[in-house]
Amino acid sequence: MGIIRNQSIKSTIILYIGVLVGVFNLLWLFPKFLSPAEIGLTGVLVDAASLFMPFVLMGSTSVFMRFYAHYKHTNNPQDAQAFTTFLFFIPLLGYALFCLFFVFFKNEIASLFIEKSPLFIHYIWYVVPLCLFLVYYNVLENYGRIIHEVAMVTAIRDVGIRLATVIVVLLYFGRYIGIDAFVFWSVALFGLAVVVLAVYFRYLGHLRLSGRFSILDKTALKQMARFAAFVFLGSMGSMLVAKIDSLMIAKYVGLEQNGVYRIAFYIGLVIEMPRRALTQVSGPMIAEHIKFNDWEWIKRIYHKISINQLIVGLLFFLTIWCNIDTLFALMPNGNVYATGKYVVLFIAMAKLFDMATSINEEIIAYSEYYHYALSVMLLLVGLTVLTNLWLIPIYGIVGSAMATAITIFLYNVAKFFIIYAKFKIQPFSVATLKVILVSILVFLANQCLPSLQNLFSDLIIRSVLVSILYIGMIYVVKASEDINTLIHQIVKSVLKR
Q: pLDDT, tens digit, for every residue of 45-90? A: 998 898 889 889 888 887 877 777 666 666 566 767 777 787 788 8
Task: Output the pLDDT for position 489.
Answer: 85
Task: Output the pLDDT for position 211.
Answer: 60
Highest mean pLDDT among 113-127, 239-253, 335-349, 379-393: 335-349
Query: Beta-carbon neighbour count of residue 212 at 10 Å?
Result: 14
DSSP string, 78-138: HHHHHHHHHHHHHHHHHHHHHHHHHHHHHHHHHHTTTTT-HHHHHTGGGHHHHHHHHHHHH
The residue ranking higher by pLDDT, 3 or 235, is 235
What secondary structure letter does DSSP report for 436? H
Which of the four pLDDT bands, split at 50, 70 and 90, describes residue 207?
A: confident
The residue ranking higher by pLDDT, 251 or 150, is 251
Phi, psi dihedrals of residue 468, rounded to the nearest 5°: -65, -45
Highest mean pLDDT among 1-10, 177-186, 241-250, 294-303: 177-186
State how many domains the chain has. Answer: 1
Task: Output the pLDDT for position 170.
Answer: 93
Which of the four pLDDT bands, split at 50, 70 and 90, describes residue 127?
A: very high
Task: Output the pLDDT for position 77.
Answer: 65
**How crowded is the C-beta side of 169, counted as CA atoms within 13 Å?**
20
**pLDDT, average across residues 215-231:** 77
Query: Beta-carbon neighbour count of residue 195 at 10 Å?
Result: 11
* pLDDT tens digits along 383-399: 888 999 999 999 999 99
Angstrom distances, CA of residue 60 to CA of 19, 54, 66, 350: 29, 9, 10, 28
Mean pLDDT score across all residues of the chain: 86
Among residues 207, 251, 294, the alpha carbon closest in space to that of 388 is found at 251
Contact 265, 73 (CB under 8 A): no
Task: Output the pLDDT for position 12.
Answer: 66
| Residue 279, pLDDT above cutoff 70 | no
| Residue 290, pLDDT above cutoff 90 | no
**pLDDT, average across residues 363-372:** 81
| Residue 1, pLDDT above cutoff 70 | no
- Among residues of the chain, what percentage have pLDDT more than 70? 91
Terminal CA-to-CA distance of the chain, rounded, Å? 29
Task: Output the pLDDT for position 254.
Answer: 87
Task: Output the pLDDT for position 280.
Answer: 62
Least confident of 131-145, 230-244, 453-467, 472-486: 230-244
Task: Output the pLDDT for position 76.
Answer: 65
**pLDDT, average across residues 146-153:** 78
Task: Output the pLDDT for position 242.
Answer: 78
- pTM beyond 0.85: the answer is no
**pLDDT, average across residues 328-337:** 90
| Residue 219, pLDDT above cutoff 80 | no
Assign residue 51 a region: left if phi > 0, alpha if psi is -120 to 50, beta otherwise? alpha
Domain limits for position 492: 2-496
* pLDDT tens digits along 407-423: 999 989 999 999 999 99
Helices (H) and strands (E) in the chain, counts: 23, 0
Least confident of 290-299, 330-339, 390-399, 429-438: 290-299
| Residue 370, pLDDT above cutoff 80 | no
Task: Output the pLDDT for position 398.
Answer: 95
Query: Beta-carbon neighbour count of residue 175 at 10 Å?
Result: 7
Which of the four pLDDT bands, split at 50, 70 and 90, describes residue 98?
A: very high
Dihedral of the alpha carbons of 50, 52, 53, 55, in degrees to the nearest 10: 160
| Residue 333, pLDDT above cutoff 90 | no
**pLDDT, average across residues 365-372:** 79
Which of the four pLDDT bands, split at 50, 70 and 90, describes residue 277?
A: low
Highest mean pLDDT among 267-276, 292-301, 349-358: 349-358
Task: Output the pLDDT for position 75.
Answer: 59
- Among residues of the chain, what percentage have pLDDT more than 90? 42
| Residue 337, pLDDT above cutoff 70 | yes
Contact 74, 155 (CB under 8 A): no
Task: Output the pLDDT for position 6.
Answer: 55
* pLDDT tens digits along 13-35: 777 788 788 878 888 888 989 88
Which of the four pLDDT bands, split at 50, 70 and 90, describes residue 260?
A: very high
Contact 365, 416 (CB under 8 A): no
| Residue 3, pLDDT above cutoff 60 | no
